[in-house]
Amino acid sequence: MHFGDYQNSIYMGGLAGVMPRWPVDFANLKARAEEAMSPSVLSYVQGGCGDEWTQDVNASAFRNWGMIPRMMVDCSVRDLSIDLFGLKLPTPVFMAPIGVNGICTEDGHGDLAAAQASARTGVPFCASTLSNDPIEEVAAAQGDTPGFFQLYTPNDEALAASLVGRAERAGYKALVVTLDTWVTGWRPRDLNTANFPQLRGAVLQNYFSDPVFRARLAVPPEENPQAAILEWVGVFGKVLSWDDLPWLRSLTAMPLVLKGICHPDDARRAVDLGVDAIYCSNHGGRQANGGIAAIDLLAEVVAAAGSTPVLFDSGVRSGSDVIKALALGAAAVGIGRPYAYGLALGGADGAEHVLRSILAEADLLMAVNGYPSVSTVREAGALRQSL
Ligand SMILES: Cc1cc2nc3c(=O)[nH]c(=O)nc-3n(C[C@H](O)[C@H](O)[C@H](O)COP(=O)(O)O)c2cc1C
Ligand SMILES: O=C(O)C(=O)c1ccccc1
């Protein structure tokens, strides 16, 4: 099925009296998810730092950018595929790592559901270190779709090596090291309700199943979960510096990606030190409030990265946002909160629906705007719109 055919399938379903099960746009999806999710999970997923200014401008800043359509271009067939890490991917989109996918579905297996949505759509899933199911099982559920593994670097180097080795053996195709979260940001929604799911033992299965982590415990997590959770708190975050990059590199033969780079100088430094890709993101405004909208920083990071690919997320809500990020130079675009809402509404089906809606809009926009391929989107670029 071509990605744009999702629209046709919805219209045709309507003729037969069947309406889409979930909204195709973010605002209505979010409203539905607000009704469906438990207050605790909703607060964790929806919340951000401080008064959520950065989180809000991440999304609204897309409105400052616009495209110019080209006419009389044969766009009857669009090619949404990209080459990344030597992989041929059918779309320029991936699922950003979300550490609480597991608890977004009622059965507690949201990571497997996300992986199934990835398997069905060909959209790579970047699996978080925080997971309710071990990486090996998540990888198996991703089917033939390549996946990436996101590492929260623990302060125990042997544990870091163990997690990365497991990911590599499970078949992951890239290692994404998140730089901006060795400590949790100031999140009033969660603080006001003392809401931190990890402290209740959620989403720690990659640790609890790890031989190096288990060797640190006097008794197994199954016997004393509380002690295992406290051990996790102590080991979770290593303060990384540029001097750690050779060590990170030495952990794996997988392509190495640094997530959280927003400054062009940091991008240059990472490229000089030989990383395979930059991941421009401010963690969806969940780590530091007051930061500039990530999309407004993308073009400069791309310029600084030269020929090194730049992945992007933060504030992507629609197919139009995907196209704008590509036009500003992103090599691939990460979807975050929207698919988490999809998981909460309908598990793998819900997440698949969200991805298909975003991809259908992106594909149709390329059709109407005269962009037959992702490279033509890039060539067309996007302009700043002063309102
Ligand atoms: C609930 C939630 C959990 C997240 N967990 C992780 C994580 O485990 N690892 C990580 O690198 N980023 C994590 N992120 C950040 C996302 O990968 C991504 O950067 C962010 O969602 C982009 O913002 P947006 O969803 O508003 O578009 C998380 C984001 C959310 C919303
Ligand atoms: O909630 C998050 O955004 C996140 O990535 C995280 C993961 C572990 C600890 C703290 C924050």
Predicted pLDDT at 117: 99
Q: Would the ipTM clear 0.90, i.e. be above it? A: yes
pLDDT tens digits for range 54-85: 999 999 999 999 999 999 999 999 999 999 99
Distance 367 CA to ligand 2 centre (A): 38
- Average the pLDDT over 141-149 and give the result: 98
> Which is catalytic among the residues 2, 109, 263, 283?
283
Q: Which is nearest to 154 in space by CA: 277, 81, 213, 238?
A: 238
- Average the pLDDT over 267-274 and give the result: 98
pLDDT tens digits for range 33-62: 999 999 999 999 999 999 999 999 999 999
Could you give the angle at the alpha carbon of 367 between the alpha carbons of 88 and 6, nearest 5°? 75
Domain-by-domain residue ranges, the chain? 5-384
The protein residue whose alpha carbon is closest to atom 8 in ligand 1 is 99
What is the Cα 366 distance to its own chain's centre? Answer: 23
- Average the pLDDT over 224-251 and give the result: 98
CB 279 within 8 A of CB 261: yes
Mean pLDDT, the chain, whole residue set: 98
Predicted pLDDT at 387: 65
Predicted pLDDT at 386: 75
- Could you tell me the pLDDT band of residue 1, with boundaries at 50, 70 and 90? low
Instruction: Tell me the one-letter amino acid at 319.
Output: G
State in Å, rounded, how far the first CA of the chain is from the last one.
38
Helices 337-369 and 5-15: crossing angle in degrees, nearest 10, is 100
- Average the pLDDT over 280-304 and give the result: 98
CA atoms in the 13 A half-sphere facing the CB of 127: 43
User: For the chain, how are helix, strand and coil distributed in percent, rounded to 5?
Assistant: 50, 10, 40
User: The dihedral of CA 246, 251, 256, 258: what is its sign?
Assistant: negative
Whether 109 is catalytic: no
pLDDT tens digits for range 167-207: 999 999 999 999 999 999 999 999 999 999 999 999 999 99
Residue 27 has pLDDT above 70, yes or no: yes
The SS3 call for residue 337 is helix
d(Cα 17, Cα 205) in Å, to the nearest integer?
A: 43
Percent of the chain with pLDDT over 70: 99
Burial call 99-129: b when 16+ CB within 10 Å, e when fewer: bbbbbbbeeebbbbbbbbbbbbbbbbbbbbb
Burial of 72: CB neighbours in 10 Å, binned 0-12, 13-18, 19+: exposed
Fold annotation for 5-384:
TIM Barrel (3.20.20)
Residues with CB under 6 A from ligand 1: 44-45, 58, 96-100, 128, 130, 150, 178, 259, 281, 283-284, 286, 313-316, 336-337, 340
